Amino acid sequence: MRNVARLFSAVLLATFWLGANSAWSGESPPADTESATLSGPVVAVGFSEKGDVSMYSLSLGYRHEWQGPDFLDAAARRHGGTIATVLEPLLTLFAGDRESFDLQLVPMLRWQGTGQGLLRPWIEGGVGIAWSDLRGLNLGSRILFSDQVGVGFDLPTTGGKLLAVGYRLRHLSHAGLWANANSGINTHFVLVTLR
């Protein structure tokens, strides 16, 4: 299990390093990081534990920003930030005591702090749908809801890109809609997005 943790840590660090180096081209950071799109690749390394089962996970995806309702952004600006809407398809591979995968599609709202400081905080959350091949964990169904919330910060790079680093908590369950068994499972992620 330690080798799996080392492998996932190496993948996360390599992704961070490659993404940051491809963005650092010697140019100065963008003057207005608020106008940067939220679309971009997503990499996350996670850990789940349920009873005596421990699993590490590697998630890969691509988030897509779309224009949300103007009233949300107007309300966020009154409180010192912006709100954006994103759609995130994600593939998660599990290793450890169980080896499996899941696919999810989650629409999310993201509040982003404004300002020109080096780090800009954000918080995001959403509820979507997931198909999971995890077995033997009393989930009750392969079709599950994916509820998630995350916090982090954006770091501007010299190449005009933004590197988002954060923590995400994801809960998978079916809310008791499809079976009596509905114990659910939580995964804690370290998340990196380059946009």
Question: What does pLDDT average to in each consecutive run of 10 residues of the chain (195 residues)?
Answer: 48 46 41 63 94 93 85 77 90 91 94 76 95 87 94 85 92 86 90 88
3-state secondary structure of 69: coil
Q: Which residues pair with 110 in a beta bridge?
A: 84, 124
Contact 193, 40 (CB under 8 A): yes
- CATH classification (class only), 2-194: mainly beta
What's the CA gap between 80 and 26, in Å, rounded? 31
Q: Which residues pair with 109 in a beta bridge?
A: 85, 125
Q: pTM value?
A: 0.78
**pLDDT tens digits along 180-195:** 878 889 999 999 988 7
Contact 155, 171 (CB under 8 A): no
Q: Whose structure tokens read 């997503």?
A: 42
Q: Amino acid letter at 68?
A: G
Q: Whose structure tokens read 């994103």?
A: 86
Going by C-alpha positions, the residue among 60, 59, 53 that lies closest to residue 1 is: 53
Extents of the domains making up the chain: 2-194
What's the CA gap between 50 and 73, in Å, rounded? 38
